[in-house]
């Protein structure tokens, strides 16, 4: 399997990979590590992260390796709708700016570690909290799987993994990378991705800046890139005119036209709303030192959006450079291999793989926290000792990663991508409980639960019914808006149903005077900041949720 | 004075960063190009800068609004500083 492996590429890659491995384990000693062994610091890194570290950590959370592979892949494949990632990562920051400081305050007043903790405290319903927690774990697993897909694509282009008949030869490099990731997440907790995020970003920025200036320059400038892409797409569209007319092929274009604009906008809005419902994003935000760190980052994080946009356009650059790959996801790694000298290609590949390790680690930690707090402690062992909870979280972080690995190795990649899409639909259904709950207690707890169930069921059903040229079910994120010929993002439709059900049932349940539970939070809690009485410096995953 | 005016102003400031990116027909054009980029692409990059530009004043306003909210809810104007009650 090592026939067409370039030694220099591999050497640089392995060197950088080993470097972050050492960093991952050393992270246990970074910033007050003495209490790590009893999990005090494992899950949220001590919650003392300032603006600078939080920028890297949250950036590593949002802009994952998968983004770096999949977004350019859609452009390479001629579907410009994938560029929605840029408006999506613009729209998300005003939302963060407004909502998340409130969540930070109430969480630090009451010792909440997960979004489901907040739901439990606010709505006094273990069942609703369980629904939010399970949705979070369910939506996170395929997200981790996609990080592994991103790694796998890079390894294939490097010539290690893939191209062989035996599955274990194909998958051994991925398995190794996975084992290393699992080991240092286990030993260092959230500190590992926080520290590695520095290296990741330094490498990614370096690679992207070189890629977007050097490669287009080699090819005759961005103007030439865009014109050759247009020519290529026009040729494709005229050659396949019959198939397109028959609906068997999708026309390619460099801009969303007509109804596709609704798809573009609804994907951007739906994804932006969903992003901060994901447990790993909330873990990143709650690990900050105070409210201002979050708001400052809302102004600083768009720097990554710039990077993401440029990266997405590398999909076009690959077309202009004549990259020909069967799997569009390989277009950017292949572009790097073709255009860069071997040592820099090694740096670029390492950057993408390390870029997958950071979010995968944070995601597995967040899912483990949800399990320990809202399933294990709430239902299975209400009197668990600290040691038992520590073990739970660490072991579950391994299980979640292992589950993701099974996804990638056992199921088709299209399936993994579609589960990710479903993940977005699912996680958005927790928005009423979390975001609306941050502002008002008007919604009744059982109405929120019913709305969640309705949104989950309808969203999954809609997604199941989407066929694509390659598969019958879960073929894409878009469906026709009921009664129209305009396609929109399923997640938004399901959320609309969710909100209607929650509002209508709230009126009914209130009229029927059904017990709405005791709200543990007070209005003041939503404004508290670091240094106020009762605001915990550190929130620990194994401490009890107190009233 | 209530913090409502501050929050309204923050909302007005941040609105373009939410509305403009979602208003696709506004920028769904080839021309004018800039450095070879079609309008569709460079306008969205410009929007990133717009978002940053409006978030910075919103950040300063939010600090004042937070102080007013804190006082309204019975907290000291600045966290961790019980001696300062002048609201600044």
Residue with tokens 């977004």: A71
B1 touches chain A (CB under 8 A): no
Residue A190: Cβ within 10 Å count? 26
Element (H, E) at B9: helix B4-22
Asked if residue B88 belongs to a domain, the reply is: no
**CB-nearest partner of A268 from B21, B41, B69:** B21
CA distance A30 to A350: 23
Q: Give pLDDT, residue A455.
A: 93
Name, in order, each residue with C-beta under 8 angstroms of B85's C-beta and a sequence gap of 6 or more.
B76, B77
Element (H, E) at A504: helix A490-511
CA distance A331 to A317: 9
Give B86 to chain A, closest Cα distance, Å: 17
Asked if residue B64 belongs to a domain, the reply is: yes
Asked if residue B83 belongs to a domain, the reply is: no
Q: Give pLDDT, residue B45.
A: 93
Q: Are B18 and A91 within 8 A, CB to CB?
A: yes
Q: How many domains does chain B have?
A: 1
Asked if residue B36 belongs to a domain, the reply is: yes
Query: Domain range spanning residue B13?
Result: 4-72
Q: Give chain A's residues under pLDDT 50.
A: 1-2, 33, 36-40, 544-547
Three-state SS across A245-305? HCCCCCCCCCCCCCCHHHHHHHHHHHHHHHHCCCHHHHHHHHCECCHHHHHHHHHHCHHHH
Asked if residue B35 belongs to a domain, the reply is: yes
Half-sphere exposure of A163 (CA within 13 A, CB side): 15
CA distance A99 to A103: 7
Residue with tokens 């919604």: A443
Residue pair A366/A57 in contact (Cβ under 8 Å)? The answer is: no
CA distance A304 to A58: 10
> Could you report the per-residue pLDDT of B40-58, keeping only the tens digit for each?
899 999 999 999 999 989 9
In the predicted structure, residue B86 carries a pLDDT above the cut 60: no
- B13 to chain A: closest CA residue: A94
CATH number (domain holding residue A55): 1.20.1730.10
Identify the residue among A86, A90, A268 best suited for mutation to test binding to B, counting B beta carbons within 10 A and taking the highest.
Answer: A90
Residue B75: Cβ within 10 Å count? 19
Q: Give pLDDT, residue A403.
A: 82
Q: Are B22 and A97 within 8 A, CB to CB?
A: no
Identify the residue among A51, A59, A75, A91 best suited for mutation to test binding to B, counting B beta carbons within 10 A and taking the highest.
Answer: A91
B17 touches chain A (CB under 8 A): yes
The whole-chain average pLDDT of chain B stands at: 82
Q: Are A524 and B58 within 8 A, CB to CB?
A: no
Give long-range contacts, CB 8 A cutoff, 24+ apart: A256-259: A256/A80, A256/A81, A256/B24, A256/B28, A257/B28, A259/A485, A259/A486, A259/A487
- A295 to chain B: closest CA residue: B59
- Determine the 3-state secondary structure of B39 from DSSP: helix
Enumerate the residues of chain A whose CB falls inside 8 A of the CB of residue B66.
101, 291, 527, 529
Asked if residue A270 belongs to a domain, the reply is: yes
- b/e burial code for range A362-398 (CB count within 10 A of at least 16 → b): bbbbbbbbbbbbbbbbbeeeeebeeeebbebbbebbe
Enumerate the residues of chain B whose CB falls inside 8 A of the CB of residue A306.
45, 48
Query: Domain range spanning residue A270?
Result: 7-411
**CB-nearest partner of B55 from A93, A261, A529:** A93
Q: Give pLDDT, residue B88.
A: 35
Q: Give pLDDT, residue A28.
A: 66
Q: Give pLDDT, residue A204.
A: 83
Asked if residue A428 belongs to a domain, the reply is: no
Give B75 to chain A, closest Cα distance, Å: 8
Q: Is A430 exposed, middle or buried (0-12, 13-18, 19+ CB in 10 A)?
A: buried
CA distance A313 to A168: 34
Give B88 to chain A, closest Cα distance, Å: 16
Q: How many domains does chain A have?
A: 1
Token pair, residue B35, equals 């450095």
Asked if residue B18 belongs to a domain, the reply is: yes
**CB-nearest partner of A309 from B45, B74, B80:** B45
Q: Give pLDDT, residue A47.
A: 54
Asked if residue B82 belongs to a domain, the reply is: no
Cis preceding-peptide flag for A349 (omega within 30 of 0): no
> Could you report the per-residue pLDDT of A110-134, keeping only the tens digit for each?
888 889 999 999 999 889 999 999 9
Report chain B's terminal Cα–Cα distance, integer Å.
13
Asked if residue A56 belongs to a domain, the reply is: yes
Enumerate the residues of chain B whose CB falls inside 8 A of the CB of residue A254.
38, 40
Q: Give pLDDT, residue B87.
A: 37
Asked if residue B62 belongs to a domain, the reply is: yes
């Amino acid at each position: 399997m090592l026939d067409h492996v370039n030694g220099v590429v591999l050497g640089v890659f392995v060197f950088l990979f080993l470097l972050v491995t050492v960093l991952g384990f050393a992270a246990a000693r970074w910033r007050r590590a003495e209490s790590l062994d009893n999990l005090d610091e494992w899950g949220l890194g001590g919650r003392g992260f300032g603006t600078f570290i939080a920028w890297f950590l949250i950036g590593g959370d949002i802009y994952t390796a998968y983004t770096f592979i999949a977004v350019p892949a859609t452009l390479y494949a001629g579907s410009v709708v994938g560029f929605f990632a840029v408006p999506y990562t613009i729209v998300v920051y005003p939302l963060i700016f407004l909502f998340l400081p409130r969540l930070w305050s109430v969480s630090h007043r009451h010792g909440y570690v997960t979004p489901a903790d907040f739901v439990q405290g606010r709505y006094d319903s273990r069942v609703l909290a369980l629904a939010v927690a399970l949705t979070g774990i369910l939506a996170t697993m395929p997200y981790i799987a996609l990080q592994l897909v991103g790694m796998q694509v890079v390894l294939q282009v490097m010539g290690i993994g893939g191209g062989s008949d035996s599955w274990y030869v194909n998958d051994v490099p991925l398995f190794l990378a996975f084992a290393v990731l699992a080991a240092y997440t286990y030993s260092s907790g959230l500190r590992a991705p926080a520290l590695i995020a520095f290296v990741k970003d330094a490498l990614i920025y370096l690679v992207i800046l070189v890629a977007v200036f050097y490669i287009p320059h080699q090819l005759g400038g961005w103007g030439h890139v865009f014109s050759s892409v247009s020519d290529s797409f026009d040729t494709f569209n005229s050659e396949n005119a019959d198939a397109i007319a028959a609906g068997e092929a999708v026309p390619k274009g460099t801009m969303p036209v007509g109804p596709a604009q609704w798809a573009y906008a609804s994907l951007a809005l739906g994804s932006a709303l969903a992003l901060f419902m994901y447990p790993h994003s909330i873990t990143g935000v709650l690990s900050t030192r105070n409210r201002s760190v979050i708001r400052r980052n809302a102004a600083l994080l768009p720097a990554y959006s710039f990077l993401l946009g440029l990266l997405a356009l590398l999909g076009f650059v690959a077309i202009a450079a004549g990259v020909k790959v069967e799997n569009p996801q390989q277009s950017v790694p292949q572009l790097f291999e073709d255009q860069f000298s071997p040592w820099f290609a090694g740096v670029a590949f390492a950057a993408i793989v390390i870029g997958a390790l950071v979010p995968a680690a944070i995601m597995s930690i967040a899912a483990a926290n949800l399990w320990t707090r809202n399933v294990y402690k709430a239902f299975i062992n209400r009197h668990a000792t600290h040691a038992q909870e520590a073990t739970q979280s660490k072991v579950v972080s391994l299980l979640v990663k292992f589950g993701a690995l099974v996804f990638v190795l056992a199921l088709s990649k299209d399936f993994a991508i579609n589960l990710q899409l479903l993940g977005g639909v699912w996680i958005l259904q927790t928005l009423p409980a979390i975001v609306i709950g941050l502002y008002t207690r008007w919604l009744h707890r059982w109405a929120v639960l019913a709305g969640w169930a309705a949104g989950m069921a309808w969203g999954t059903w809609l997604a199941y019914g989407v066929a694509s040229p390659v598969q019958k079910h879960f073929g894409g994120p878009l469906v026709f808006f009921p009664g129209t010929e305009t396609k929109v993002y399923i997640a938004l439709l399901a959320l609309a149903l969710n909100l209607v059900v929650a509002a209508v049932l709230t009126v009914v349940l209130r009229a029927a005077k059904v017990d709405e539970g005791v709200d543990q939070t007070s209005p003041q809690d939503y404004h508290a900041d670091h240094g106020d009485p009762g605001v915990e410096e550190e929130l620990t995953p194994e401490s009890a949720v107190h009233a | 004075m209530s913090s409502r005016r501050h929050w309204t102003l923050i909302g007005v400031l941040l609105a373009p960063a939410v509305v403009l990116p979602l208003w696709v027909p506004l920028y769904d054009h080839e021309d004018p190009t800039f450095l070879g980029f079609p309008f569709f692409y460079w306008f969205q990059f410009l929007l990133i800068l717009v978002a940053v530009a409006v978030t910075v004043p919103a950040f300063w306003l939010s600090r004042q609004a937070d102080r007013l909210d804190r006082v309204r809810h019975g907290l000291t104007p600045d966290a961790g500083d019980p001696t300062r009650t002048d609201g600044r």
